[in-house]
Structure 1
C-alpha cells in the first residue's frame, strides 16, 4: 500500500511537470481552441465529451463554414484552414486531458477531412488567412538600418531587429531575454535563449561581428545598451530586460511582450519602407533563407535557430532558396 501511494504521488508529480513545461503561448492556443469546440458543441447540441469520428469531422466542416464569431476578410465566417487545424488539435488534446476517449483513427479522419475541404476551397479560388510571413532579407535589414536614427527608440529598434534576425528568434525569445543573457565575447555575442518552445530551441547561439558595421548586431546591441544607460543609469542589472518598451515620448518602460515585439517589427518595417510588411516571424524565416543563400548547411542553420535537424518549417524556408539554386530543370535548354 505504501508503494502504491508513492507511485500515485509520482503520477501526480508527472502530471504537474507536464503542465508546467507547456509554453504559455501553446497553453493559450489550446485554451482558445477548446472554447471554439465548446461553441461548436453548443451550436450542434452535442455533448462536449463527444470525441467520435463523426463529431470531429462535423467540427472541421463547421469551422470552415461558419465557425468564426466575427466575419473575417471579405465577410467570410469560416476559419482559415490553418486556424481550423490548430483548433482541431486543441479539441483533441482537450478531450483527452479531460479523460474522454478520442481514437487515433477518429483524429486522423478529421485531419483528412480538413485536408480535403482545404483543397476544395483552393479549387474554388477561396484563399483564407494571412498566408506566410515574408522572409526577412539582408536588403530589408539594410533599409531598416538606414531608417533607424540615433534616438533611444531607434537604437532599441535596430538592436531588436538585427539580434532577432541573427538568432532566428521567435517573438517570444527576444521578449524573454534578460540583459545578463547576452554577453560580449572577442568574436561577438553569446545569447542564452531560455524561453524556447522545444529542447532544441533552448540554445546558446554565437552571433559574430558583421562585415558591414551598419548591419552588425554586436555593435547595435552595444549602442543600444550605451544609450539606455545614458538615459536610465539605474537600469544596469543583469536581471533587467534586454529590450525595454519605450513610449512615444521616449519614456522607458518594462519588458516587451511577444505581441509588442511582433508589433514593433511590423512598425519598423513599414516606417523604413520595406516592400513587404514584416512580422516577428519574418526574422526567423529570414535567417534560414539568407543562410541557405550563403551556402550554410541545414545542420548549422538548425543549430543557430533552434530547429530540429529535420524540421519541416526550416526545410520549407530553405526550399524557397533551393528551388532556384538547385533546380532540376535549370540549364536543360
Structure 2
C-alpha cells in the first residue's frame, strides 16, 4: 500500500495524508488547491517523475520509499551517479541528483511524513561535482555545470528566420514567438500565456507595451518593446503582423500563440498516456500553444537552420541577457526589463562568458 501511495503524484499523496488525519485536521480542498497553485506546473511534473523513479528503485531494492530513511536516499543518489540514464545512455548530472533529492523531500513534506536527513546524499553530489570539475577533458568538466540551453542572440535569430515562410500563419507565429520572446526576455510559460489583448501600442508610436505576468517575482509588468533597427528582426513588426493575421482568421481575442499544424490549421486536442499509464488530454481547448510546444518549435527551427546545441524557449531569455550585456546595458536595467528581482544572483548565471579580453576588469583601472 505504501508503494502505491509513493507512486502517486504529489497532490494525490498529500490528499491521502490529509484523509488519514481525518476531516477538519488538515487543509481544506480550496486551501490545498491554493498551495498547489504556488508550485509551477513544470516543477510538479519533474518532481512527480523523479519521485516515481525513486519509488520504483526502492521497490526493486526492497526498501521503503515513504517514509524513507537517510541511508535509502544516500544509496539511491549513489545509484544514480553510477547508472546511465535509461533514455539517453548518458550519466546523470549533479544537477539531476540535486533535483532527485529535492523531489524526495518535497513528497515527504506533502504527505506529512518525516523528511529524511540528506547530508550523506548531498556529500555524494558534492564529491561527484568535484570529480567532474577536476577532469582533464572539457566534455566531462561541462557535466559538473548546470545543463544550460544555448543563448539565442540576434545573430542566431537571423539564422533561424532566414528560411522561414512568413506569409503563412504558422510562419508569422514562429517569427513573432522568437522575436517577442527574445525582446521580453520571457520564460516559455510567460510567453505562451500572452493573449492578443496583452499587447498595447504605445500612443506615441515608440513600440509596444506588453502585459506579462512574471512568475518568479509574482508580479505583472508592462514591458516596453521598441522597434528594431532591422525590419526582418523587429519584434514590434513581427508581433503586429501576427496580430493582424489572427484578426483576419477570426481569432483576434484569444491566445497570441496558437498550436498550428503543418496544414496551417489550429491543431486539435489529443490524448496520450502519462508515466502512470493514465490517459490525459494534451493541449488546451482554446488552441493555446504550450511552453513545451514552444520549446519544440524552437528546437525544430534550430535543427532546420543547421545550428548545433541545446535550443529551447529559455534560449530566448538567455540570448536577451547576453546581447543586452554585450551592448553595454546596465545589469539593473536588464534585470528589471526581464522580470528579475533587483540584485538577483540568478541573473549573473545568464551572462555568457566572453574570451576574457573584451570585458577584462583590468582595462582602464590605471595600471
Report the Cα offset of residue 292 of structure 1: 0.6
Distance of aligned partners of 1:187 and 1:80 in 2 relative to their CA distance in 1, 3 Å threshold: same
1:278 is matched with: 311
Contact between 1:188 and 1:218, CA under 8 Å: does it hold in 2?
Answer: yes
1:34 is matched with: 51
Q: Which of 311, 315, 328 in structure 1 is aligned with 2:348?
A: 315
Matched residue SS, 2:148: coil
1:94 is matched with: 107
Contact between 1:209 and 1:218, CA under 8 Å: does it hold in 2?
Answer: yes
Report the Cα offset of residue 167 of structure 1: 0.9
Pairwise CA RMSD: 2.9
Report the Cα offset of residue 262 of structure 1: 0.3
Report the Cα offset of residue 41 of structure 1: 1.8
Q: Which of 194, 203, 222 in structure 2 is aligned with 1:204?
A: 222
C-alpha distance after superposition, 1:59-78 (max 9, x if no partner): 2111222374x252xx34x4
Q: Distance in 2 between matches of 1:14 and 1:322?
A: 51
2:11 is matched with: none
1:3 is matched with: none
Contact between 1:298 and 1:309, CA under 8 Å: does it hold in 2?
Answer: no
Q: Distance in 2 between matches of 1:33 and 1:27?
A: 10
Contact between 2:165 and 2:171, CA under 8 Å: does it hold in 1?
Answer: yes
Of 47-56 and 244-253, deviating more is: 47-56
Q: TM-score, normalised by structure 2?
A: 0.76
Where does 1:222-237 land on structure 2 (aligned, <5 Å)?
Answer: 222-230=240-248, 232=249, 234-237=250-253
Q: Distance in 2 between matches of 1:324 and 1:275?
A: 26
Contact between 2:209 and 2:223, CA under 8 Å: does it hold in 1?
Answer: yes
* Structure 2 residue 132 is the aligned partner of structure 1 residue 114: no
Gaps of 5+ in 2: 1-23, 268-286
Where does 1:136-175 land on structure 2 (aligned, <5 Å)?
Answer: 136-152=152-168, 153-175=170-192
Contact between 1:32 and 1:87, CA under 8 Å: does it hold in 2?
Answer: no
Report the Cα offset of residue 312 of structure 1: 3.3
Q: Distance in 1 between matches of 2:329 and 2:218?
A: 19
Q: Distance in 1 between matches of 2:308 and 2:60?
A: 43
C-alpha distance after superposition, 1:7-55 (max 9, x if no partner): x799646544222222211111221121122123223322123444322
Distance of aligned partners of 1:45 and 1:310 in 2 relative to their CA distance in 1, 3 Å threshold: farther
2:330 is matched with: 297
Q: Distance in 2 between matches of 1:15 and 1:229?
A: 40
Matched residue SS, 1:278: coil
Contact between 1:261 and 1:280, CA under 8 Å: does it hold in 2?
Answer: yes
1:191 is matched with: 210
* Structure 2 residue 60 is the aligned partner of structure 1 residue 47: no
Aligned length: 315
Contact between 2:186 and 2:338, CA under 8 Å: does it hold in 1?
Answer: yes
1:19 is matched with: 36
Matched residue SS, 2:59: helix
Matched residue SS, 2:212: coil
C-alpha distance after superposition, 1:79-101 (max 9, x if no partner): 22222211211111111221222
Gaps of 5+ in 1: 1-7
Report the Cα offset of residue 296 of structure 1: 1.4
Matched residue SS, 1:22: coil
Distance of aligned partners of 1:92 and 1:182 in 2 relative to their CA distance in 1, 3 Å threshold: same
The structure with more helix, counted as a fraction of residues: 1
Q: Distance in 2 between matches of 1:229 and 1:150?
A: 16
Q: TM-score, normalised by structure 1?
A: 0.83
Contact between 1:293 and 1:321, CA under 8 Å: does it hold in 2?
Answer: no
Report the Cα offset of residue 269 of structure 1: 2.3
